[in-house]
Amino acid sequence: MSDMSRPGVIHDLGYRHYDGLREGTPAIARTLFVTGLRHVYGLGRSGKSKVMPFLLLAMSVLPALIVVGVVVLTGLDSLPVSYADYTNQTQLLVSLFAAAQAPVLFSRDLRHRSIVLYLARPLSAPVFAVMRWLSLTVALWLFMAVPTLMLFIGAMLSGLDKSDQVTQLLKAVVLQTLLALLIAGITGLISSVSLRRGFAVVGSVMALIVLTGVVTAVQAIAAEQDADSASTTAGLFSPWSLYSGLANAWDAGIDTFVPVDGAWAVAYALVALLLAAACLLALVARFRKVGSR
């Protein structure tokens, strides 16, 4: 589509003219999204860049295959671990994947200043930030969805109750989407501020793994001291405890120290959505700032 307000997007240097279709911002955004998604998994990059994402993916799929094998061989009538809980159990791998791959999307362009080349196109800094964030979100969601899908296929093949499994699966998928939005925002923001890969990774690990460890410890101790509401409140402070709390409230098969119910479920959902929105806004602000320099 020829954009009359911004002529010359395809630079006319006086060589051969381009008379074809001129696509606008949506096409650039779409391409950026797809390229970003591929780059998270190292596709279209060097062979070495593929090692880490696929190694982590393989490690998170392997236990699912083992679980399926056990179910098939022993003829259990339910999966020993629910779909949502499987993601929770492999949270270390998901967190590491996010921490390792977020700098690929958010640090490199800023560190090498290639961001100015992107922004020289009719693509605004906010759209760039949102597209990068979407790429990471979808990549993270896929990372969690692949083992979930393996479990589901296994459950179907071994003849477990279909409607029951589908309900659990759909719940897990919704929760995973929310979690992916959250984690992508947090790790993306950290990587876009801390441009050295190493520090971005350690920062993300602190925000995802150390913080979750702290929250879990506080929750356990508070529950032991019969301070139930303190335990539930502590859960609001890390993405993984938000995830497991919401899954518990929604009956998706995760046990928390204290059951999350009633208004707490609403609070958990609101905090998760607000946190994701705040991270996205901060990302947009960050890219707007670096784009204006």
Partner 1 sequence: MISPGEPVRTVFNPTIAKLALQALLGRRRFYLLLAFPVLLIGLVTLITVLADGDAAFEILPGLGYPLVLPLVAILAASSVLGPEVDDGSIVYLLSKPVSRYGVAISKWVVALGATLTAGALPILVAALITGDSTRALGLFVGAVVAGTTYSALFLAISAVTRHAVIASLMFVLIWESLLGNLFTGIAWLSIGQWGLRIGHEISSELPDPANLGYAIIASLLVTVVGVWFAGDRLRSFTLRGDE
List interacting residues with partner 1 (CB under 8 A): 45-46, 48-49, 52, 59, 92-93, 96, 99-100, 108, 112, 194, 196-199, 201-203, 205-206, 209-210, 213-214, 217-218, 221, 224-225
Q: Is 193 helix (H, G, I), strand (E, B) or coil?
A: helix
b/e per residue, 16-44, with b = 16+ CB within 10 A? eeeeeeeeebeebbeebbeebbebbbbee
Q: Quickly tell me which residue has 């690990």 as its tokens.
A: 205
Q: Which is nearer to partner 1, 6 or 289 (CB)?
A: 289
CB 181 within 8 A of CB 275: no
CB of 179 to partner 1, least distance (A): 19
CB of 107 to partner 1, least distance (A): 11
Q: Which is nearer to partner 1, 169 or 188 (CB)?
A: 188
CB of 268 to partner 1, least distance (A): 22
Q: Which of 214, 61, 208 is nearest to 146 (CA)?
A: 61
Q: Which is nearer to partner 1, 2 or 225 (CB)?
A: 225
Q: Which is nearer to partner 1, 66 or 277 (CB)?
A: 66
CB of 217 to partner 1, least distance (A): 5
CB 88 within 8 A of CB 243: yes
Q: Is 23 helix (H, G, I), strand (E, B) or coil?
A: coil
